Amino acid sequence: MAIRKIRVDEDPILKKKSRTVDVFDDKLHCLLDDMYETLKKEEGVGLAAVQVGVLKRVVVVDTGDGLLELVNPEVISGEGEQKVAEGCLSLPGRVGVTLRPFTVKIKAQDRDGHWHIYKVEDLKARCFCHEIDHTNGILFSEKLAPGEVLRHRED
């Protein structure tokens, strides 16, 4: 496994749409393993492949209760709303209050290509939406709640 370099700020790759994964081979497994190691090192809760410079629809999430690997994830439906401050490893030092659904139902494949349905809420719903946005070239700064602005984190 290896730590991969995170793309940040104005790196143009962050605005690009990732491609669907159709080969579930060792190369994909290596990417997932590296992404998880990178996520842990950076103390993040989610990471999309585009953030390490790979335009594939691949996401890892760990909100504190273990690793979830999402390949070709898609939101099926969302309900309710939440307005909470969000950050991103690709926008270091910045934070903003986004508007997200409170619960989401998504479908995604695992590293071997099997489909799963996830119904999640609160932090995990926010995180899934944020990471799926990354696979479509969208940053959380484009999902701010009305009247909110991107701020510098006060450490």
Answer yes or no: 81 catalytic: no
Contact 39, 49 (CB under 8 A): no
Q: What x-and-dash track marks residues 31-70 binding Ni ion by CB under 5 A?
A: ----------------------------------------
Which DSSP letter does residue 56 get? B
Window 72-101: residues binding Ni ion (CB under 5 A)? 88
CA–CA dist 20, 92 (Å, integer): 27
Q: Judged by CB, which is closer to Ni ion: 109, or 126?
A: 126
106 binds Ni ion (CB under 5 A): no
Strand, coil or helix: what is 13?
A: helix
Catalytic annotation, pick one of 10, 43, 86, 131: 131
Query: What torsion do the CA atoms of 115, 118, 124, 125 make, to the nearest 10 degrees?
Result: 110
Nearest distance from residue 55's CB to Ni ion, in Å?
15
Nearest distance from residue 90's CB to Ni ion, in Å?
5
What is the distance in angstroms between the CA of the first residue and the CA of the last residue of the chain?
Answer: 31
Q: Which residues are catalytic?
A: 131
Footprint on this chain of Ni ion (rule: CB under 5 A): 88
